[in-house]
Amino acid sequence: MCWGWRIWGLPEQQHPGPTEWGEGRHGVGPWEGDWPEDERLDPTLLAEGDRRNVVDAYRYWKREAIVADIDTRRHPLHVAIENFENDANIGTVVRTANAFAADTVHIVGRRRWNRRGAMVTDRYQHLRHHSTVAELMAWAASEDIAVVAIDNTPGSVPLETAELPRRCVLLFGQEGPGVTPEAQEAAVMTCSIAQFGSTRSINAGVAAGIAMHAWIRQHADLRRAW
């Protein structure tokens, strides 16, 4: 079975699936027929095909055109992760933030991080570095954005029942130590994720995805999802 899909502004094409089903996992080949006149499109991709990790609506688009389009739909949700020990989960956090069209991912501590887990989505996601937690908090205060720490600590508010601020930064600690005491003290609240098994903690990248989706359920316009 085939579904028709449309690259925004271009004639409808017939391909197996609207996103990445079947052949779509490997992208699309060179454009067939006369090239469309659209300044958003990349001549090289039209000629050689587009194998990037993007939804089909963005096939053949230039990278800057994709970023510009996402910028019109980004949510007032920011994500921050502490990176004082070069946390390997940052790539996963960036990829998930891109999927949910988060405004910016803030990396606190070390500037360098392992980008493999991002699956090249960092090209389309705004990133910002802060040397210290204090620097992040000062930025959030200057933008009037609330900081919500995510960590399973005594006195935390269950994420499952918490009302998250619409304009906020979800702050995550690194694998193991979790959110630093300094960050928890400066945050407006700390939310925990309910656990029922034997493990002491959830992987930081997984926890970030759960928390971001909790925000999406409360504040996003689901009619605009792919």
What pLDDT is stored for residue 84 in this prediction?
A: 73
Number of domains within the chain: 2
Tokens of 110: 């070390």
CA nearest 169: which of 185, 191, 146, 187?
146
What pLDDT is stored for residue 33 in this prediction?
A: 95
- Are both 66 and 147 inside the same structural domain? no
Q: Is residue 7 part of a domain?
A: no
Cα(125)–Cα(212) distance, rounded to whole angstroms? 15
- Are both 43 and 126 inside the same structural domain? no
- Are both 49 and 94 inside the same structural domain? no
- Look up the domain containing 113 and give its range: 74-224
Query: Whose structure tokens read 């194998």?
Result: 51
Cα(30)–Cα(49) distance, rounded to whole angstroms? 4
Residue type, 151: D
- Are both 87 and 146 inside the same structural domain? yes
- Are both 129 and 202 inside the same structural domain? yes
CA nearest 82: which of 64, 61, 108, 101?
108
Q: Is residue 52 part of a domain?
A: yes
Q: Is residue 31 part of a domain?
A: no
- Are both 115 and 99 inside the same structural domain? yes
Residue 76's H or E segment, with its range, is strand 75-83
Q: Is residue 81 part of a domain?
A: yes
- Are both 58 and 132 inside the same structural domain? no
Residue 158's H or E segment, with its range, is strand 157-158
Tokens of 117: 């887990």
- pLDDT one digit per residue (tens) for the chain, 226 residues: 233 344 555 544 444 444 444 444 568 999 999 999 999 999 999 999 999 999 999 999 999 999 999 999 999 999 999 987 767 889 999 999 999 999 999 999 999 898 988 999 999 999 999 999 999 999 999 999 999 999 999 999 999 999 999 999 999 998 778 899 999 999 999 999 999 999 988 889 999 999 999 999 999 999 999 9
Do residues 44 and 32 touch, judged by C-beta distance below 8 A?
no
- Are both 119 and 153 inside the same structural domain? yes
Query: Whose structure tokens read 């990829």?
Result: 95
Q: What are phi and psi of 9, to 5 degrees?
A: 85, 0
Cα(15)–Cα(159) distance, rounded to whole angstroms? 40
Q: What are phi and psi of 78, to 5 degrees?
A: -115, 155
Q: What is the CATH number of the domain that holds 198?
A: 3.40.1280.10
- Are both 63 and 140 inside the same structural domain? no
- Are both 58 and 164 inside the same structural domain? no
- Are both 119 and 136 inside the same structural domain? yes
